[in-house]
Structure 1
């Protein structure tokens, strides 16, 4: 995996490159250094070496020096929640008291029937290596990512974009995300609840993720369904 420190409105991991945007480029905050260290540690856990790149040699040297002296322990839980902050559509780095998992309406029906969120490997009964080559994996995520239930902050819309990507089985266009947008269903949990789940890990990219599954009856705060999906509302809530 390649981690490229850059000046941008958002961070993005795509096809083996993590474009890591700094809030105050070329200045780097302590929580950003910790976030990078935990990303590198997570990658190492799965036997991947991280290549650090930056157009600013001083900044690159600072980051590499920090990594040489850092000691992080699995599951790499942030000491400060700031480490898990992500960018919203306005280019603001945000966090919340709540985390969300967003999916298509059809997937939501299965979730409510089973009473739990499942990782892709559990939901499809396929190995991560098989799912890597699935056409829905537009971002080129590595095999281990499919072993986890992914969470983002509840005050961001990245989950809805991902749900559209899964629905369309390709990278959504601006038209797809605006006039042709089909909203998914989002499940919201308290941050502390997810962090304390068995199988939780912080990978330095997602706000949080949990291996295999998350039970709804013990931790779900709210499920949000768009009004335009009202035909499905009755069915979904009868299942609950």
Structure 2
């Protein structure tokens, strides 16, 4: 590998599966000491054991993105383990029950706000406090292609991801002078458990996503993680406030 994250401590939410798990493995291979966070630590411990078995450095912490106290505790634990934080990949998310705007429930809206917006907000502020103490760092937030256009099938999800894009840009401007870069990525259709759940609720959605993607296929989780890797690395030292499409041309 290219050792793009050698010597860096990186915190990853939603690390038990999909893009987050792919990022954990990739970042560790690129030299980072990774702290993996998700609600259930069972799956995390398996990834930690895999990374350690390959000679990497990894730890697991429990985190509930709907609970601000849990988020702050998980970020704080990363600081306790390593004494600093250099990078954070805020990737955890919750999918809403697919359906049109008029059938979206209050509970769906509230959960989308709690996890997909407030959870990131809370994580970012806790991460930035650690980074500030260490002289700076880099944060990457996983948004969605659905944040950049109308999202009739997932209206609450799209709305909160669009709000996340806004706070990503605001944080980048606010914290730039403190040496903290903040960027986002907007993945298109990616072969993850979340897409599997959407397919189960709406049969044929994978075929429709593939048909509207110019590159003609779904992304693999590692391909999305590669974009986050670059943004977290020093090779992206002049990039902040960007919301990068990683969607096979679907949003063009």
Q: Fold-level match, TM-score > 0.5? A: no
Q: Which structure features the higher share of strand residues? A: 1
Q: Give the structure-2-normalised TM-score.
A: 0.29
Q: Give the structure-1-normalised TM-score.
A: 0.30
Structure with the greater relative contact order (CA < 8 A, sep ≥ 6): 1 or 2? 1
| Larger Rg belongs to | 1
Q: Which structure features the higher share of helix residues? A: 2
